[in-house]
Amino acid sequence: MEIIDNVKDMQLRADEIRSFGKTIAFVPTMGFLHKGHLSLIEKGKKAGDILVLSIFVNPAQFGPNEDFDSYPKNIARDLELAEKQCVDIVFTPDKESLYQKNYQTYVDVNDLPNHLCGLCRPGFFKGVATVVTKLFNIVKPHYAVFGEKDYQQLAVIRQMVKDLDFDIKIIGSPTLREEDGLAMSSRNAYLTKEQRPAALSLYNALVKARDIVKKGEKNASKIINSVSMDIKKYKDTQIDYISICDPYTLEDVDIIEESVVMALAVKVKTTRLIDNMVLTPDLNYI
Amino acid sequence: MEIIDNVKDMQLRADEIRSFGKTIAFVPTMGFLHKGHLSLIEKGKKAGDILVLSIFVNPAQFGPNEDFDSYPKNIARDLELAEKQCVDIVFTPDKESLYQKNYQTYVDVNDLPNHLCGLCRPGFFKGVATVVTKLFNIVKPHYAVFGEKDYQQLAVIRQMVKDLDFDIKIIGSPTLREEDGLAMSSRNAYLTKEQRPAALSLYNALVKARDIVKKGEKNASKIINSVSMDIKKYKDTQIDYISICDPYTLEDVDIIEESVVMALAVKVKTTRLIDNMVLTPDLNYI
């Protein structure tokens, strides 16, 4: 496994791989890898010849009061896991080489961030779109894999790739869950054992919504109210948002006539968790 | 000479050229080619193996009261000139294929546009940075050539390329002038014979400033005032700005101690002209 920490070296290596007629699949991460990331790597390996994994905690996507400084890190373990997963190249730039003195260029997607997480985290998707553009220009992939757990991020990246004509195929990868249903996330490391039931309330809300939509419930507010009450029963929870929305535009849906996405963000004490699920009405249900 | 009007076809062709180990030099233009453009093409041909010229009048860089609809066009003549100049590929996308329904992604450079033309043309450099990003992703060049006549544009593109890690070498190409000194520009086509002396006042101002700086004048305001008066003598002129600034940051310079750029924008009736020149104090001058 190669480890590259320099932008120019990565670009040269990408050119070399491409000149051999090989394709590059790219999995961008902020490290602290878990099984969710490993499933993205698997997906990438099926798509392209050479798998490049990046590990970079991107300062531009953290707000001033967010957890940039405390974001969990374990680079030694990440490299070990990547090696086991037969990653070909790990790209690990440092903050200073990606954001140099006098840095001033940002990529902004206008509409999609005005929903869900974008409302609670101003600047977040600008930070994401910018760093992903940079990484695309450095890694030069044919394919890039993003988790469906970060549903809005995936939607923003797809829009950006289309709008800016990146010649890259974006692959969404289904959310991996712990045995109890909790969506895998590096931030789960923050959770205490006592907070686990509260953390699970996100998944339970999605399953409940999925089931009642399948049984014919069409009223989105009714569903949202019902699961809100369930979540609020846990004293450590604070709901950022619960939304039932159009899978493409992320606009709120009032009456569920076709597949929609339910997405939610809930703080469990100081740990902010997100999750989502597609809700599909069963048209044969009477 | 190949003519390509489709984004996907251009990307495939760029991949093919690269897979043969050839380099691509790119000259983006808005068409209505003149000798200035031809000199950019010459420069590009020296840099890379295959020269791609794009012709696209970019709506995103025109303000609502600007000349998008009337911008001069003559595609037949452009293609003839390109062929004569031994251009390999002309890329001529239409507006709809570059800005599709629901388009919403923009590239923004924060600081450099807050000077010179950026002040009179809000959104202009956002439009430029966005379309150049798109064209870079479509044409996939190794080299891209921009004229020094659009000095601020060149500075913005260099900054963007550095910040977003585009693996592209930006080449600046000196301003070409008519015999009388007028900087070549597609917009010169708007000028009547009677307006020519007024249009020439930009070049004359730069030459005067260059000469007095060489002779030891260090006070920027004094120079600006002096050339302003010269320009205002022509009744059809309206000065947008005259600036003596740092060549990299474009910040105003008060006392000229080393090379600076003098840049100006002047409207001659409804035709907005720009020009610039490096002013270098002669340190040996007593």
CB contact under 8 A, B167 and A106: no
Summary mean pLDDT of chain B: 96
A31 and A85 share one domain = yes
In a domain, A285, yes or no: no
pLDDT at B216: 92
The residue of chain A with its CA nearest to that of B15 is: A18
Residues of B in contact with A128 (CB under 8 A): none
Q: Note the pLDDT of residue A286.
A: 54
A115 given a catalytic annotation:
no
> What's the whole-number mean pLDDT along residues B172-181?
96
Measure Cα distances from B56 to A36, A191, B60, B128 in Å.
43, 53, 11, 12
Question: Are residues A164 and B134, on separate chains, in Cβ contact within 8 Å?
Answer: yes
Contacts of B132 in chain A (CB under 8 A): none
Which residues of A have a CB under 8 Å from any CB of B? 7, 11, 15, 18-19, 21, 98, 100, 102-112, 129-130, 133-134, 137-138, 140, 159-160, 162-167
Contact status, residue B266 vs residue B278, Cβ threshold 8 Å: no
Smallest Cβ–Cβ distance between A19 and the set B7, B19, B102 belongs to B19
pLDDT at B169: 98
Domain boundary, last residue among A139, A173, A207: A173
Return the residue of A nearest to B9 by Cα.
A167
Q: What is the pLDDT of residue A26?
A: 98
* B10 vs A64 pLDDT, higher one: B10
Among the candidates A173, A202, A237, a domain finishes at A173
Cβ contact A164–B133 (<8 Å): yes
**Within-domain flag for A179:** no
- Could you write out the three-class secondary structure of chain B? CEEECCHHHHHHHHHHHHHCCCCEEEEEECCCCCHHHHHHHHHHHHHCCEEEEEECCCHHHCCCCCCCCCCCCCHHHHHHHHHHCCCCEEECCCHHHHCCCCCCEEEEECCCCCCHHHHHCCCHHHHHHHHHHHHHHHHCCCEEEEECCCHHHHHHHHHHHHHCCCCCEEEEECCCECCCCCECCHHHHHCCHHHHHHHHHHHHHHHHHHHHHHCCCCEHHHHHHHHHHHHHCCCCEEEEEEEEECCCCCCECCECCCCEEEEEEEEECCEEEEEEEEECCCCCCC
Query: Mean pLDDT per segment of 10 residues, for chain A of length 286 residues?
Result: 98 97 98 96 98 97 91 96 98 96 97 94 96 98 97 98 98 96 94 96 98 95 98 96 97 96 97 97 72
- How many domains are there within chain A? 2
pLDDT of B93: 98
Res B285: pLDDT: 60
Angstroms from B271 CA to nearest CA on chain A:
31
Q: Is the pLDDT assigned to residue B281 strictly greater than 60?
A: yes
Closest Cβ–Cβ partner in A100, A108, A167 for B108: A108
DSSP, collapsed to helix, strand or coil, labels residue A90 as strand
Question: pLDDT (tens digit, 9 = 90+) per residue, A232-245?
Answer: 999 899 999 999 99
B78/B32 Cα distance (integer angstroms): 6
Lowest mean pLDDT, pick from A259-263, B89-93, B119-123: B119-123
What pLDDT score does B283 carry? 73
Same domain, A165 and A194: no
Give the A:B interface size as CB pairs under 8 Å.
93
- Taking the C-alpha atoms of residue A181 and residue A38, their distance in angstroms, rounded to an integer, is 18
Are residues A212 and A142 part of one domain?
no
Measured between beta carbons, which residues in chain A are less than 8 angstroms from residue B106?
A: 107-108, 110
Residue B178 lies in a domain: no
Helix (H) or strand (E) holding A106: strand A105-109
Identify whether residues A84 and A133 lie together within a single domain: yes
Say which of B104, B105, B164 has its CB closest to residue A105. Answer: B164
Interchain proximity A112–B104, CB inside 8 Å = yes
Query: A132 vs chain B: nearest CA distance in angstroms?
Result: 9
Kindly state whether residues A151 and A206 are assigned to the same domain: no
Which of A104, A135, A170, A249 best tests the B interface by mutation, with the highest count of B CBs <10 A?
A: A104
A80 and A208, same structural domain? no
CATH number at residue A31: 3.40.50.620
Which residues on chain B are in Cβ contact (under 8 Å) with A107?
105-108, 164
Closest CA to A56 of A91, A105, A4: A91
Pair (A155, A210) in one structural domain: no
Asked whether residue B138 falls in the same domain as residue B244, the answer is no
Q: For residue B199, is it within any domain?
A: yes
| Residue A183 DSSP label | B
Collapsed DSSP state (helix, strand, coil) of residue A52: strand
Asked if A164's CB is within 8 angstroms of B137's CB, the reply is yes
Task: Count Cβ atoms below 10 Å from residue B274 Cβ, excluding itself.
Answer: 21
| Contact criterion met (CB below 8 Å) for A244 and A256 | yes
Query: How far A167 CA lies from chain B's nearest CA (Å)?
Result: 7
Contact between chains at A110 and B111 (C-beta distance less than 8 A): no
Evaluate whether residue B179 is within a structural domain.
no
Chain A positions touching B100 (Cβ under 8 A) are 162-163
Q: Is B284 part of a structural domain of the chain?
A: no
Contact B107/A162, CB-based, under 8 Å? Answer: no
Q: Give residues with Cβ within 8 angstroms of A279, minimum separation 6.
A: A209, A210, A213, A214, A244, A256, A259, A260, A261, A262
- For residues A9 and A130, membership in a common domain is answered with yes
Q: What was the pLDDT predicted at A282?
A: 82
Q: Does residue A130 sit within a domain?
A: yes
Phi, psi (deg, nearest 5) at residue B218: -115, -15
- Confidence band for B282, pLDDT divided at 50, 70 and 90: confident
* Residue A286 maps to a domain: no
pLDDT at B127 over 80: yes
- Are A163 and B19 within 8 A, CB to CB? no
Return the residue of B nearest to A156 by Cα. B105
Q: Write down the pLDDT at residue B221.
A: 98
Both B197 and B235 in a single domain? yes
Q: What is the pLDDT of residue A283?
A: 73
Mean pLDDT of chain A: 96
* Cβ pair A11:B138 closer than 8 A: no
**pLDDT level of residue B249 (50, 70, 90 thresholds):** very high
> Residue B286 above 80 pLDDT?
no
Single out the residue in A116, A139, A173 at which a domain terminates: A173
**What backbone phi and psi angles, to 5 degrees, belong to A213?**
-70, -40
pLDDT at residue B200 above 60? yes
Q: Are residues A20 and A73 in the same domain?
A: yes
Work out the minimum CA distance from B8 to partner chain A, whole angstroms. 8
Judged by CB atoms closer than 8 Å, whether chains meet at B108 and A106 is answered as yes
Q: Which domain holds residue A33?
A: 2-173
Cβ–Cβ of A105/B163 closer than 8 Å? yes
User: Are A149 and A267 members of one domain?
Assistant: no
